[in-house]
């Protein structure tokens, strides 16, 4: 568990970067663009890289062998570049330069996100992976809290300070990870000969089993709801509720606080009762929460609902990735990490654009109605997935 907590630093830095990006970049884009749909489209740049590169990089990391390990080389390249280009984003002097910095930062993030995620099951026995996922997402949630809370304060002082702080934190986390995670020592059953056992392209296709497809469909729709809300929430708070930029950003911290508090318990519950039942509780809960938020115009009630929503999101998010991994083989962890990101990234590509269009056609009030409907579809697909994770856990 000590290694898992330290590995959580990778998720900590990723969460800070994405939280600041999703909170403040839409405000930068709004200075140049008037269409919410177009702003939503620009916020999906990262996911085009993710859907194309992350499956390939995840599978490539399965087969990589260096003196640093198979995942760590991708962190060594991607994290410093992401820190650099992320810090440059607020220094744009026009739309073109802003887009260039956004593209370069997102490309850099795509280089190391899948390998970072895949490190968790690499160093964790199967029966402890849901619990470990709770720990690393706890760390990620702390990063989001720091980003939304501290980022709002720094943003009021100067718009560049949150991004500069994020870059420094990313580099510090990389340094710590290099010191404490040694793949040759920490990876379970690590062997140089493992490369020969990795799936070929033909066997990689067999990862798309029927249960996996239904689960990926469910993942798509709950991320469709979540990513759309996250990408457009600051604009929703500003234009629908009349909040200031910092008030809207700080409100997201309530969601993250609850997520952090529920992360480890959600992993323990998933390990004890099975991943599917806990995910279903989370999906049903967010259907109700998102539906109620669409009727709320009070800042206090909004933040209470976000607190409750963060608990339910933890039930979903903590258990979903281990669920995907549990449906495949140990030799395909990186590959299955990649296909997990295909579903989530495709949702993140489509969601801000489609939700932005609905907002342009109707109003910002449509945001949480659409999010609630997405969760309903996710629930229907999840019901088609057979869950044997509880049996596996008990047997282990």
pLDDT digits (tens, 9 = 90+) for 233-253: 888 888 888 888 778 878 888
CA separation for the pair 296, 289 (Å, rounded): 11
Phi, psi of 328 (to 5 degrees): -125, -165
Average pLDDT, integer, range 85-114: 91
The answer on pLDDT for 198 being more than 50 is no
The answer on pLDDT for 114 being more than 80 is no
Average pLDDT, integer, range 45-56: 75
Read out DSSP for 235-290? HHHHHTS---HHHHHHHHHHHHHHHHHHHHHHHHHHHHH-HHHHHHHHHHHHHHHH
The terminus-to-terminus CA distance of the chain in angstroms comes to: 17
Position 388 scores a pLDDT of 57
In order of start, what are the domains of the chain with their CATH numbers?
Answer: 2-187+209-395 (1.20.1250.20)
Residues 24 and 165: beta-carbon distance below 8 Å: no
Position 189 scores a pLDDT of 58
Out of 186-200, 226-240, 295-309, 363-377, which region has the weakest mean confidence (pLDDT)?
Answer: 186-200
Q: Which of 322, 333, 342 is nearest to 396 (CA)?
A: 322
Q: Which of 215, 220, 218 is nearest to 385 (CA)?
A: 215
Position 197 scores a pLDDT of 47
The answer on pLDDT for 127 being more than 50 is yes
Out of 126-130, 311-315, 382-386, which region has the weakest mean confidence (pLDDT)?
Answer: 126-130
Average pLDDT, integer, range 122-143: 79
The answer on pLDDT for 171 being more than 90 is yes
Give, in order, the Cα–Cα distances in Å from 301 to each of 130, 243, 244, 312, 385: 32, 14, 17, 17, 35
The answer on pLDDT for 206 being more than 80 is no
pTM of the shown model: 0.70
Measure CA 165 to chain center. Answer: 20
* Between 257 and 96, the higher pLDDT residue: 96
Position 331 scores a pLDDT of 57
Average pLDDT, integer, range 270-275: 86
Chain segment 365-392, per-residue pLDDT in tens? 888 999 999 999 999 999 988 765 544 4
Confidence bin at 283 (pLDDT 50/70/90): very high
Give, in order, the Cα–Cα distances in Å from 153 to each of 61, 77, 97, 326: 38, 31, 25, 41
The answer on pLDDT for 43 being more than 60 is yes
As a whole-number percent, the residues of the chain with pLDDT over 90 amount to 29
CA separation for the pair 338, 335 (Å, rounded): 5
Average pLDDT, integer, range 161-173: 93
* Between 353 and 316, the higher pLDDT residue: 316
Residues 173 and 108: beta-carbon distance below 8 Å: no
Average pLDDT, integer, range 46-57: 75
DSSP three-state, residue 67? coil
């Amino acid at each position: 568990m000590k290694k898992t907590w330290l590995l959580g630093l990778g998720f900590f830095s990723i969460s800070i970067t994405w939280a600041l990006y999703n909170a403040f970049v839409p405000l930068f884009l709004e200075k140049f663009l008037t269409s919410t749909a177009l702003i939503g489209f620009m916020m999906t740049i990262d996911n085009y890289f993710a859907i194309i590169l992350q499956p390939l990089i995840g599978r490539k990391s399965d087969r990589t062998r260096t003196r640093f390990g198979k995942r760590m080389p991708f962190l060594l390249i991607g994290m410093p570049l992401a820190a650099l280009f992320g810090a440059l984003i607020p220094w744009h002097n026009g739309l073109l330069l802003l887009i260039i910095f956004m593209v370069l930062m997102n490309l850099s993030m795509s280089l190391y996100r899948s390998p970072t995620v895949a490190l968790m099951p690499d160093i964790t026995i199967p029966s402890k992976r849901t619990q470990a996922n709770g720990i690393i997402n706890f760390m990620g949630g702390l990063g989001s809290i720091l980003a939304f809370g501290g980022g709002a304060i720094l943003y009021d002082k100067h718009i560049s300070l949150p991004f500069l702080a994020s870059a420094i934190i990313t580099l510090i986390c990389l340094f710590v990870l290099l010191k404490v995670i040694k793949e040759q020592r920490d990876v379970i059953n690590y062997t140089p000969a493992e490369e020969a056992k990795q799936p070929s392209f033909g066997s990689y296709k067999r990862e798309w089993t029927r249960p996996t497809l239904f689960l990926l469909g469910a993942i798509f729709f709950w991320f469709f709801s979540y990513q759309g809300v996250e990408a457009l929430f600051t604009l929703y708070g500003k234009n629908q509720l009349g909040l200031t930029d910092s008030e809207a950003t700080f409100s997201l911290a309530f969601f993250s606080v609850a997520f952090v508090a529920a992360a480890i318990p959600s992993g323990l519950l998933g390990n004890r009762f099975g991943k599917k039942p806990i995910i279903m509780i989370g999906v049903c809960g967010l259907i109700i929460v998102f539906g109620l938020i669409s009727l709320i115009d009070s800042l206090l009630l909004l933040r209470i609902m976000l607190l409750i929503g963060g608990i339910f999101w933890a039930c979903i998010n903590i258990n979903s990735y281990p669920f995907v991994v549990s449906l495949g083989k140990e030799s395909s962890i990186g590959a299955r990490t990649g296909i997990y990101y295909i579903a989530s990234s495709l949702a993140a590509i489509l969601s801000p654009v489609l939700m932005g269009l609905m907002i342009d056609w109707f109003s910002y009030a449509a945001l949480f109605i659409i999010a609630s409907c997405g969760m309903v579809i996710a629930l229907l697909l999840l019901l088609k997935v057979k869950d044997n994770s509880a049996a596996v856990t008990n047997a282990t």
